Amino acid sequence: MTAHPGAEGRSKVPWAERQAMNRGFGEALAQAFEFAAIPVLFAAFGWWLDDRLGTAPALVVALATLGFVGVSLRTVYHYLAKAKKEEEGKPWTRRPR
Protein backbone atom coordinates (compact mmCIF):
# COMPACT_ATOMS: atom_id res chain seq x y z
CA MET A 1 0.00 0.00 0.00
CA THR A 2 1.31 3.44 -0.92
CA ALA A 3 1.22 6.63 1.09
CA HIS A 4 -1.17 8.33 -1.31
CA PRO A 5 -2.93 7.43 -4.55
CA GLY A 6 -0.87 7.88 -7.71
CA ALA A 7 2.50 7.40 -6.02
CA GLU A 8 3.01 3.83 -7.19
CA GLY A 9 5.36 4.65 -10.09
CA ARG A 10 7.36 7.33 -8.33
CA SER A 11 10.76 6.60 -6.90
CA LYS A 12 11.49 7.79 -3.40
CA VAL A 13 13.58 10.94 -3.21
CA PRO A 14 16.61 10.48 -0.96
CA TRP A 15 16.56 12.31 2.34
CA ALA A 16 19.60 14.47 1.47
CA GLU A 17 17.94 15.72 -1.73
CA ARG A 18 14.73 16.57 0.12
CA GLN A 19 16.71 18.38 2.78
CA ALA A 20 18.62 20.42 0.18
CA MET A 21 15.40 21.26 -1.66
CA ASN A 22 13.66 22.33 1.55
CA ARG A 23 16.67 24.46 2.51
CA GLY A 24 16.47 26.14 -0.91
CA PHE A 25 12.78 26.85 -0.43
CA GLY A 26 13.49 28.30 3.00
CA GLU A 27 16.22 30.58 1.67
CA ALA A 28 13.96 31.76 -1.15
CA LEU A 29 11.13 32.52 1.28
CA ALA A 30 13.49 34.45 3.57
CA GLN A 31 14.81 36.45 0.64
CA ALA A 32 11.30 37.25 -0.60
CA PHE A 33 10.35 38.41 2.88
CA GLU A 34 13.43 40.66 3.01
CA PHE A 35 12.59 42.19 -0.36
CA ALA A 36 9.08 42.99 0.88
CA ALA A 37 9.71 43.95 4.50
CA ILE A 38 12.94 45.96 4.53
CA PRO A 39 11.86 48.75 2.14
CA VAL A 40 8.49 48.97 3.90
CA LEU A 41 10.15 49.28 7.31
CA PHE A 42 12.57 51.90 6.01
CA ALA A 43 9.67 53.80 4.42
CA ALA A 44 7.71 53.67 7.70
CA PHE A 45 10.70 55.08 9.55
CA GLY A 46 11.01 57.79 6.88
CA TRP A 47 7.31 58.59 7.25
CA TRP A 48 7.75 58.94 11.01
CA LEU A 49 10.79 61.18 10.52
CA ASP A 50 8.95 63.25 7.89
CA ASP A 51 6.13 63.77 10.36
CA ARG A 52 8.55 64.88 13.07
CA LEU A 53 10.68 67.11 10.83
CA GLY A 54 7.98 68.37 8.43
CA THR A 55 9.91 67.41 5.30
CA ALA A 56 6.91 65.99 3.36
CA PRO A 57 7.62 62.77 1.42
CA ALA A 58 11.37 63.30 0.99
CA LEU A 59 12.55 60.89 3.69
CA VAL A 60 9.91 58.28 2.85
CA VAL A 61 11.15 58.07 -0.72
CA ALA A 62 14.83 58.30 0.23
CA LEU A 63 14.71 55.62 2.93
CA ALA A 64 12.49 53.26 0.93
CA THR A 65 14.93 53.56 -1.98
CA LEU A 66 17.88 53.01 0.37
CA GLY A 67 16.20 49.89 1.78
CA PHE A 68 15.51 48.45 -1.67
CA VAL A 69 19.02 49.18 -2.95
CA GLY A 70 20.52 47.68 0.21
CA VAL A 71 18.51 44.47 -0.09
CA SER A 72 19.36 44.24 -3.79
CA LEU A 73 23.09 44.67 -3.17
CA ARG A 74 23.01 42.14 -0.35
CA THR A 75 21.33 39.66 -2.68
CA VAL A 76 23.88 40.20 -5.45
CA TYR A 77 26.88 39.84 -3.13
CA HIS A 78 25.35 36.80 -1.42
CA TYR A 79 24.80 35.17 -4.84
CA LEU A 80 28.35 35.94 -6.02
CA ALA A 81 29.86 34.51 -2.83
CA LYS A 82 27.72 31.39 -3.10
CA ALA A 83 28.65 30.91 -6.78
CA LYS A 84 32.35 31.38 -6.00
CA LYS A 85 32.17 28.81 -3.21
CA GLU A 86 30.27 26.37 -5.45
CA GLU A 87 32.80 26.65 -8.30
CA GLU A 88 35.85 26.44 -6.06
CA GLY A 89 38.23 23.76 -7.31
CA LYS A 90 36.34 23.05 -10.55
CA PRO A 91 38.46 22.41 -13.65
CA TRP A 92 37.27 25.54 -15.47
CA THR A 93 38.38 27.78 -12.60
CA ARG A 94 41.98 26.57 -12.59
CA ARG A 95 44.58 28.85 -14.14
CA PRO A 96 46.59 27.51 -17.06
CA ARG A 97 50.25 26.83 -16.33
Would you say 56 and 50 are in contact if contact means Cβ atoms under 8 Å apart?
yes
Query: How big is the CA angle at 65 (ends 61 and 42), to the nearest 5 degrees?
Result: 75
What's the CA gap between 60 and 63, in Å, rounded?
5
- Per residue in 28-83, pLDDT (tens digit) is 999 999 999 999 999 999 999 999 999 989 999 999 999 999 999 999 999 999 99
pTM: 0.71
Is the predicted pLDDT of residue 9 greater than 70, yes or no? no
Query: Where do the domains of the chain lie?
Result: 35-87
In sign, the C-alpha dihedral spanning 18, 24, 28, 29 is positive
Helix, strand and coil in the chain, % to nearest 5:
75, 0, 25
